[in-house]
Structure 1
Amino acid sequence: MAWEQARARARDSAGQPLPLVTRDLDAALGHALAASLTALTGPTALTSQTDVPPAGSVPAPPRRQEGRTGEVLLPAGTVVTPVVLGLAAAAGHDRLAVHRRPCVELLLLDEELPRSGPARAHRAPDVIGPLLHPWLTRHGAEVIGRRRVQEDTARVRDALRDSTADVVVAAGGTAAGPTDPLRTALGGSGARLLVDSVAVRPGHPMLLAELPPFPDGRPRLLVGLPGDPQAAVAGAVTLAVPLLRRLGGHADPEPYRMSAAVDLPGHPHDTRLLPVRRAAHGVAPLACDGPAKLLGLAVADGLAVVPPGGAPAGTDVEVLEVPGP
C-alpha cells in the first residue's frame, strides 16, 4: 500500500471520535497538563458567555471580555491547553466538554525473553518503549500499560485478547516470516488486516488491524510497528499518530513543508522518511539514518517525506514531527 494511502486508511479506520466527557475546568487543567484534550465537537466548540453576567455577579471589565455572547472563540477540534482553559474561564464557562483520550497499551515483542523461567540478566534494553510512550501521550493517547511479551504466537495472542486498550501498539514481530508471530497471532484471533505493509522505508512491514470488539461492542484496533527504532517511528507517524488524532477528535494538521537545501536521497521504488536538520536554505539529510539507529532521530528536526527516486535541491517536501518533548 502506498504511504499516503496508508495514512488515510489509519485516519478513516478510527471512525467517529471517542465519546465526549464533561469536566470542570480544574479537572480539565490536570488532563491538559498531562496530555492533549480536544474541545466540544459539533458546529462550535467554545463560545463567549460574558456579555450577560448571571444575576448578582459582578460583570467583567470590558477589557477582559473575550467576545460578544454567542460569538465563536475557538472551533471544534481545538487542542485544550492551559491557555485555552484560561480563555474558557474568561468567557464565562465553568465546565468544558472534551473527547475521551484513546487508551493505548504498548506491547514490546521480545525474542530474548525466555519461554519459561526468569528473564535473562543481560537481555537487550527496551529502547522503543521510552521513545514512544511520551510521544503517543503528546498526541492525545492515555498510555495505560507497557509490557514485554515473548515472541511466541500463543503469548502474543493472549496479550492481544486480554488488553483493555482502545488501541494496542505492538513493536516487533511484524515481518512476514516464520519467526515473527504477530501476523500469525492476528490470523488466529479473528482480527482483520486493514493495512498489511506499506511502500515506505524504513518501516515497510508495519500493519494496522481491527481486533475483535469488546463485549459491549466497542471497537479495538492494533498498530504493528517494526522492532528497529527508526522503523518503529516511521510506523508511528504513518499509522499510530493519524489514528490517535482522529480518535481524540483532533483536527487534521496542515502539512508542514520546507525546501530541500541539497539533494535528498530516496528509495528506488518506495517513499522514504529521512531524518533531516534545518539548514540556511531548507532541510538537509543526516548521516545516521539506518533503521536500527537512534542518533539521527536524536538530533533531527523532522522526517522529510522523500518520494521514490529522491528529491532534488530546491524541491518542497513535507516534514513530519519526530519524537521530542
Structure 2
Amino acid sequence: MPWAQARAVAATAPAALGAERVPLGAAAGRVLAAPVRALVAAPAFDTAAMDGFAVAGCGPWRIAGRVLAGRPGWPGVLAAGEAVEIATGAIVPDGAEAVLPYEICHVDGGLVSGAREAKDHIRRAGEDAHAGDEVVPAGRIATAAVLGAAAQAGADELTVHRRPAVAVLVTGDEVVTRGIPGAGQVRDALSPIVAAIAGRAGGEPVEDHFLRDDADLLRTAIESATADVVVVTGSSSAGAADHLPTVLAGLGARWLVNGVRCRPGHPQALAVTAAGRWVVGLPGNPFAGLVAGLTLLEPVVAALAGRMLATPVTLPVVGAASPYPEGVRLAPVEIGDGQARIVPGARSGSLRAAATADALAVLHPHWSTGKAAALLTLP
C-alpha cells in the first residue's frame, strides 16, 4: 500500500474510545468527549481589572474606604465624588463608573485626583461567559489553557475520551532486555520507541512482553492481551521466524495494511482481530521500526484517543539521499533556517542518525535536494 494511504487508513479506521469523567488534574492531554460549559458566570461579579481607586462622578474624589479581593463588597452605593481604594479582583462597588490605576492617581490626604482613561478597567459580570455557555467545544485537547478555562467556569471534572492502552510483544530469540548483549544477541530498542510514540499520541503504555520465536506463544499473548492496541515487533515480515501473518489469519483478523511502499519499514502491518483488538506489526530493525511506528502506530493510537492527526509541516529538504522509486524514503533531518538538512548515515538497523534528528522527511521518488517534503516530527 502507498505510504500516504497506509497512514490515512490508520488514522481513520479506528473510532474514538468511550468517555469517562476525570478530575481536572487527570484530564491534561486528554481529548474532550463533551464540551465544557460554564457552571457560573465569568466573572461572577463586576471586578476590578487594576489596582487603584473605584470612582463615581467627576474628581477629585473623597476616599471613602478600601475593598480587597476575596472580601465582602462595599456596602451601599458609591456616590458621585466618592472613591474607594480597590485591589485587582475585588468586587467593584455599586455606582462605580471606573477604576483609576494607581499609576495615574495623585493622593492628597483624603482626596484622590486623576484623569479618567478611555478604558474603565472594570471586568463586567458575565463578559467572558454566562452560566450554561459553551466554553470549550468537544474534540479539543485539554491543554493548560483549557484546564484553566474549565476551572474558571466552575468545573471540577471533565468528560474525556479514555486513553488507549498499548501493550508491546517483543519477539525474537536474540533479543535481550538489559545489559550488554552476548554473541548473537541484540538489545530491545523498540519498546522505548513504542512508549514514546504511544504517549505522544495520547495512549498509555501498559506492559511489555518478551516472547521466543514461537507461533503458539504469540497467538496466546495476543488473545490474552487486555490492551486496546497490541504492538508486535520483529515478526511482521516473511521469514521463517515471522509468525504474525499466520497467527492473525488463525485469529480471523481483518487486515487493513499488509506492507507499505516505503524504505525503511516496508514490512509493517495493521489488523483488527475478531475481538476488536488493534494489532500493529513493526519490523525488527530499529530505524525501520521507528518509521513504521510513525506511519501506523501513532495514527491508530491518536484516533482511539479522539485526536485528529496533525498535518505534517512542509519545508525544503537539502542533502544527499537516494529516493525510493516505488514509494517514499524516510530520512532523518535537522531543522533550521527555514529548511531541513538530511542527517547522513541513516541505516535500517541503526538509530544513530535519527537520534540527532528533529524529524523524518518523507521523500517522494522525484525528490532532489532543495525540493520541499513533508516532515514527521520525532517524539
Q: TM-score, normalised by structure 2?
A: 0.73
Tell me, yes or no, if structure 1 residue 259 matches structure 2 residue 316. Answer: yes
What is the distance in 2 between the residues matched to 1:238 and 1:58? 58
More helix by share: 1
- Summarize deviations over 1:180-204 as a string: whole Å, max 9, x none: 1111111222222111101011101
What is the distance in 2 between the residues matched to 1:142 and 1:37? 11
Aligned to 1:306: 363
- Quote how far apart the aligned CAs of 1:8 are: 1.2
More strand by share: 2
Provide closer, same or farther for how the CA distance between residues 51 and 263 of structure 1 changes in structure 2, counting only shifts above 3 A: same
Provide closer, same or farther for how the CA distance between residues 121 and 246 of structure 1 changes in structure 2, counting only shifts above 3 A: closer
- Quote how far apart the aligned CAs of 1:300 are: 0.5
Amino acid at match of 2:36: L
Tell me, yes or no, if structure 1 residue 181 matches structure 2 residue 243. Answer: yes
- Summarize deviations over 1:202-258 as a string: whole Å, max 9, x none: 101000011121xxxxx2110000011111111111111111111111123233111
2:377 pairs with 315, 321, 324, which one? 321
Q: How does 1:168-247 map to 2 (within 5 A)?
A: 168-213=230-275, 219-247=276-304
Tell me, yes or no, if structure 1 residue 139 matches structure 2 residue 139. Answer: no
- Quote how far apart the aligned CAs of 1:121 are: 7.8
Provide the secondary structure at the position in 2 that maps to 1:272: strand
Amino acid at match of 1:8: A
What is the distance in 1 between the residues matched to 2:225 and 2:145? 35
Tell me, yes or no, if structure 1 residue 51 matches structure 2 residue 50. Answer: no
- Summarize deviations over 1:134-193 as a string: whole Å, max 9, x none: 331221111110111111111111111111111101111111232211111112222221
What is the distance in 1 between the residues matched to 2:340 and 2:224? 44
Aligned to 1:81: 143
What is the distance in 1 between the residues matched to 2:72 and 2:342? 58
Kept in 2: contact 1:64–1:90 (CA 8 A):
no
Kept in 1: contact 2:318–2:342 (CA 8 A):
no
- Gapped regions of structure 1 (runs ≥ 5): 115-119, 214-218
% identity of equivalent residues:
33
What is the distance in 1 between the residues matched to 2:268 and 2:125? 50
Aligned to 1:99: 161
Tell me, yes or no, if structure 1 residue 39 matches structure 2 residue 101. Answer: no
- Give the alignment's Cα RMSD to 1 decimal: 2.7
Q: Report the number of matched residues.
A: 300
Kept in 1: contact 2:315–2:338 (CA 8 A):
no
What is the distance in 1 between the residues matched to 2:341 and 2:72? 57
- Quote how far apart the aligned CAs of 1:263 are: 6.1
Aligned to 1:13: 13
Amino acid at match of 2:228: D
Kept in 2: contact 1:261–1:280 (CA 8 A):
no
Q: How does 1:268-307 map to 2 (within 5 A)?
A: 268-307=325-364
Amino acid at match of 1:309: H
Provide closer, same or farther for how the CA distance between residues 63 and 276 of structure 1 changes in structure 2, counting only shifts above 3 A: farther
Amino acid at match of 1:4: A
Kept in 1: contact 2:199–2:205 (CA 8 A):
yes
Aligned to 2:56: none
Q: How does 1:115-134 map to 2 (within 5 A)?
A: 122=182, 123-134=185-196
Provide closer, same or farther for how the CA distance between residues 235 and 121 of structure 1 changes in structure 2, counting only shifts above 3 A: closer
- Summarize deviations over 1:114-138 as a string: whole Å, max 9, x none: 9xxxxx9834221111222133122
- Larger-Rg structure: 2
Amino acid at match of 1:3: W
Amino acid at match of 2:32: A
